[in-house]
Amino acid sequence: MSSEVTVTPPAPPIALGSLIGHEELGLRLLAGPPEADIHWVHTSEMADPYPYLLGGELLLTAGVQLTDPERYVARVVAAGAAALGFGVTPVYDTVPGALVEACARYGLPLLEVPPRTPFTAVARAVWRLMARARHHELRRVTEAQQSLATAAARPDPVPAVLHALASRLSGHAGLYAPDGSEYAAAGRPVEPEARAALGHLVRVLNPDGGARPASATDTAGGCHLAAYALGGSRNLTLGLAAGSRAPGDHTIAGVAVVLLSLLTAPHQGADEAARSAALVRLLLGEPSAEVAPLLGGAPWTVVHARGDGPPPELGTPLVEVRDDGTVRALLPAGRDVAPHPGWTLGASAPAGPGDLAAADLQAARALRRALAAHTGLARHRPGGFGSLVDPDEAAAHARELLRPLTEPLTETLRAWLSLHGNWDRTATALGVHRNTVRQRVSRCGSLLGADLDDAEVRMELWFALRWS
């Protein structure tokens, strides 16, 4: 059973062959296998790039400090790089033979980058291919969610959901009792070795004592296996077996887990049935105003997210992936929203079903604040206009705007603005002559290059003084 932590990102990698297929780049494979998965591009002219590699890179170099090809390739392979791209000229006219031989021995794909192709062009091609793959994966996840929701609305929902899930993952999906016996199944048959390993995963999720794990994974018989604990008192487990595993498969399985937990819950009352129906209708895209009466008065939180890879795991099946890559999710207000690696999130305040449209706008504003402040998560802040401004961003702007002013000038400007530009009252408050106030305020306007008679200028300066 695997517990290995990978450093590669959740975004789908691109195949080395698809990059070589770009004829305008003119890349040529000189050594190593043509099959490799590229997760990103890194350029380095270090004699030993090992400390700067994370794994999965296409490493580009012109060999500026290449003195020992054997050791260089060994270190690149040890760092987990996916392939090596060598640019000929200006250092070398051809790729060194010793480097070709070393890559062949270590099984590291070696690409020749011709003189007419800058490294930036190779990187741009990789990012474009990755963006295309990421968009395809997001679209696949969204279509799978819609398919599962449609299946859950059928008269035989449990078999329909299992069949839809197995079809989307091109494998096997089954429900299992705590002892490992199969309760229902759909999709391709599973080989005996993989079936035995899947039964073991089910038993792992149903220990005799202690907390029940949420999921477990393994590989056996050439299959990728996963098991997910369903909610409810019956302790059923969703087991999956597929020949391959894409980054979005976990998200798709999470939607199925929520739906199957609802569908297999015993003694579902009329209120719960109406709530489940409402969740399915929301997944199918019906307007929230029409579904609100079925949800009762329970508060909800709207989350907007933007980032790379499959949508963040928010513990809800109510997720929409929009054409621009932005993710919107609806989850119960009591569910905690936490930062997600590679994603920026904005969360609304708790809202009733009838106020979801307003909460959606709050989440959109919170996401804009999070992106501007380069923080992983921003929440809606109630209040006036000041609540719409990020404090750190506003403070940085205020420092830059007021930088030309010394402290006596700043103090005078603050008092003058707070007293609505009254010279006498400002002089009394500061204990100086009114002519001194006039001179200082005039100096402020000169240093700032601003017309202090303009109401908008005064307003901006007052907010800057407030945030400074």
Q: Is residue 11 very low, low, confident or very high in pLDDT (cuts 50, 70, 90)?
A: low
Q: Which of 88-92, 346-350, 373-377 has the lowest mean pLDDT?
A: 373-377
What is the rounded CA–CA span in Å between residue 241 and residue 222?
10
Q: How confident is the model at residue 300 (pLDDT cuts 50, 70, 90)?
A: confident
Q: How far is CA 202 from the centre of its chain?
A: 29
Q: How do residues 431-464 score in pLDDT, each as one tens digit?
A: 888 888 888 898 888 888 888 888 888 888 888 8
Query: Looking at residue 67, what is its pLDDT?
Result: 94
Q: How confident is the model at residue 288 (pLDDT cuts 50, 70, 90)?
A: low
How far from 307 is each of 276, 317, 345, 459, CA to CA, in Å?
30, 19, 9, 35
Lowest mean pLDDT among 216-230, 251-265, 304-318, 419-433: 304-318
Q: Which amino acid is at 273?
A: A
Q: What does the pLDDT average to over 359-379?
A: 85
The confidence score (pLDDT) of residue 463 equals: 83
Domain with CATH 3.30.450.30 in the chain: 154-266
- If you average pLDDT over residues 127-134, what whole number do you get? 86
Residue 291's pLDDT band (cuts 50, 70, 90): low
> How does pLDDT run across 225-282, given as a tens digit for each residue?
998 888 765 678 899 999 888 778 888 888 888 888 888 765 444 455 555 566 666 5
The pTM (predicted TM-score) of the whole model is 0.47
Look at 206-215, 291-300, 326-335 and tell me which has the smallest mean pLDDT: 291-300
Angle at CA 391, nearest 5°, toward 370 and 340? Answer: 25
**pLDDT digit string, tens, across residues 70-98:** 999 999 999 999 999 999 988 999 999 99
| Strand ranges, E, within 337-447 | 343-347, 377-379
Q: In sequence order, what E strands does 57-138 have?
A: 57-61, 83-87, 110-113
pLDDT at 468: 73
CATH number, span 392-467: 1.10.10.2840
120, pLDDT greater than 90? yes
Predicted local distance difference test score (pLDDT) of residue 209: 62
What mean pLDDT do residues 354-360 have?
81
**pLDDT for 297:** 55
Better pLDDT: 202 or 316 = 202
For residue 222, the model assigns a pLDDT of 83
| 364 CB-side CA count, 13 A | 7
Peptide bond connecting 90 to the previous residue in cis, omega within 30 degrees of 0 = yes
**Mean pLDDT, rounded, for 128-140:** 84
* pLDDT value for 79: 92
203-220 pLDDT tens trace: 888 777 666 678 888 888
Q: Is residue 346 over pLDDT 80?
A: yes
Confidence of residue 3 (pLDDT cuts 50, 70, 90): very low
The hierarchical CATH code for the domain 154-266 is 3.30.450.30
* Closest to 410 measured CA to CA, from 462, 352, 340: 462
Position 292 confidence tier, pLDDT thresholds 50, 70, 90: low
Mean pLDDT of the chain: 83
Q: What is the pLDDT of residue 106?
A: 97
CATH 1.10.10.2840, the chain: domain bounds = 392-467
Q: What is the pLDDT of residue 270?
A: 46
Instruction: Please give the average per-residue pLDDT across 288-309, as a whole number.
Output: 72
Q: Compute and round to an integer the Cα radius of gyration of the chain.
A: 30
pLDDT score for 287: 65
The yes-or-no verdict on residue 337 having pLDDT over 70 is: yes
Higher pLDDT, 30 or 221: 30
Closest CA to 219 of 188, 245, 238, 255: 245
How many other CB atoms are there within 10 angstroms of residue 288's CB atom?
Answer: 20
Q: For the chain, where do the domains classified as CATH 3.40.1390.20 start and end? A: 14-127
CATH class of the region 14-127 = alpha beta
